[in-house]
Amino acid sequence: MTIQKAPAAAPAATETAPALRVRDLVVRYGRGRRAAAEPAVNGVTFDIASGETVGLVGESGSGKTTIGKAILGLQRVTEGSVQYRGRDITHASLGERRDLGGELRAVFQDPYSSFNPRRTIGASLIEPLRLRGVSRADAVGRARSMLERVGLPADAVDRYPRQFSGGQRQRIAVARALICDPSLVVCDEAVSALDLSTQAQVLNLLADLRDERGLSYLFIAHDIAVVRFLAQRVLVLYRGQVMESGPAAGVTDAPKHPYTQALTAASPVPRPTEQAERRARREVLVVGGASAAAPTSVGCPYAARCPLATELCRTERPALRPIDDRLVACHYAS
């Protein structure tokens, strides 16, 4: 059996509407007088095609988690739109979300607070099914088979979360996400809290399930190498704006935006010689300065730290322009 590469591009869409379409998304915390000065998400646009995995990469304050929450309806959207399979869900009511029929699901970061400790695994798993009118017996049956699919014994349905390790709980979280047969799963730092070996297990699981079922993922992470493994396309976010987007391998191996270059140069690799090279590159790119940068509302958000920055960068926000196979928001990238 040949090993399938993760599809380089999404399979030719048989449906006209992409799985997810986000347009000019703006999210600002607080309301009225209490509104924050800077939006957490400041004009983000992207699509996820059916069967495609898109990665959102950024450090703290990049807005990546907020985007995930906005899509799931956990965070109010200030401006812009989110469309799922052609339906506008930007301000979807609770009833409308429920009608989505469990097509839009999530796996969260912290395995220790993802499950109600007072309920059995089974009770948590069947909840979304029961809400949609599935009979109890059927729901439990599906829960059991789902658990086995993620590599846990079926009798786990009767156990409590505290009886499982972090990695096992993340598997159960994946089971919960997939139990309704969704089309899109938002993975919000789904492996960030796991040890390396457990992380690998869960990543493999996510990849397998994706290939098996043709799922789309929105994979949110701060670790660009993890995203590169799972995603076909990646968006690099900084302070709520997209800096660069394109094929995962390309963006990671040959980044064009100064921030992406800084990000990849800063991510250490476990090979000493190569890491020494990266270090040398870091010095050139002036990777740091995060603490010095103050939020600006005009111009490029990265201008305060960028070695290429000019007056233009500080006054005019660069638009995403196509360079080769990707989009880059920089006046000077090539």
Partner 1 sequence: MTAPLTPTAPSAVRPQGGRPLARLVRRPPAVAGALWLAFIVIASLTAPLWLPYPTEQQDFSAVLAGPSPAHWLGTDELGRDLLSRIFAAGGGTLAASTIGAVVAMLVAVPLALIAASGGERVEGVINRVTEVMLAIPAFIIMLAVIGVVGTNMPIIMAIFGFLISSGMYRVFVGAAKSLQAQLYVDAASVDGIRPVGISLKHVLPGMLNTVMVQFALVFAVAIMLQAGLAFIGFGPPIPQPSWGGMIQAASQHVYDAPWMMVPTGIVLALTVLSANVVADALAATTDVPQLQIALREPKRRMRAGASTADTQAAAGEGLRVRALAVGSEAVTLVSDVSLDVRPGRVLGLVGESGCGKTLTALSLIGLLPPGIRPQAGEVLWNGHDLTRLSEREFMRIRGREIALISQEPMRALDPMFTVGYQLGGAIRRLQKVGRAAARAEAAALLGKVGIVDAPTVLRLYPHEISGGMAQRVAIALALAGRPRLLVADEPTTALDVTVQAEILDLLRSIIADTGMSMVLVTHDFGVVADICDDVVVMYAGEVVESGSVHSVLEGPQHPYAMALLAADPHAGVEAESQRLASIPGQVPQPKDWPDGCRFADRCRFSTEACRRPIALTPRRSAEGEVRCIRSAELTAAGVTWAAAPAGVEPERVRIEPERVGAAEAAQAPTRRAEPEEARL
In the complex, minimum distance from the CB of residue 22 to partner 1, in angstroms, rounded to a whole number = 17
CB closer to partner 1, 173 vs 328:
173
Nearer to partner 1 by Cβ, of 168 and 245: the residue is 168
Identity of the residue, 79 or 127, whose beta carbon is nearer to partner 1 in the bound complex: 127
Four-point Cα dihedral 32, 35, 40, 42, nearest 10: 50
Smallest gap from residue 43 Cβ to partner 1 (A) = 22
The sign one gets for the Cα dihedral 39, 35, 25, 58 is: positive
261 residue type, one letter: Q
Closer of 7 and 86 to partner 1 (Cβ): 7
* Closer Cβ to partner 1, 45 or 93, answer by number: 93
User: CB count, 10 Å around CB of 213?
Assistant: 13
Give the chain's largest Cα–Cα span.
66
Minimum CB separation of residue 294 from partner 1 in Å reads 11
Residue 106 or 328 having the CB closest to partner 1: 106
Provide, rounded to whole angstroms, the least separation between the CB of residue 226 and partner 1.
5
Give the residue with the Cβ less far from partner 1, 290 or 312. Answer: 290
| Nearest-approach distance from CB 16 to partner 1, in angstroms | 26
- 152: tokens are 């846990």
218, 235, 227: which is closest to 108 by C-alpha? 218
* Distance of alpha carbon 44 from alpha carbon 54, whole angstroms: 14
CA pair distance 196, 270, nearest whole angstrom: 13
Helix 166-178 vs helix 196-213: angle between axes, to the nearest 10 degrees? 20
Which of 222, 153, 166, 157 is closest to 189 using CA atoms? 222
Cα separation of the two ends of the chain: 41
41 or 209: whose CB is closer to partner 1?
A: 209
Q: Is the C-alpha dihedral spanning 98, 102, 106, 110 positive or negative? A: positive
Shortest CB 191 distance to partner 1, Å: 9
In whole angstroms, the minimum distance from the beta carbon of 10 to partner 1 comes to 16
Q: What's the order of all strands across the beta sheet hosting 41-48?
A: 41-48, 20-27, 79-84, 87-88
Q: To the nearest whole angstrom, how small is the minimum distance from the Cβ of residue 150 to partner 1?
A: 9
Distances, alpha carbon 238 to alpha carbons 1, 63, 217, in Å: 41, 8, 21
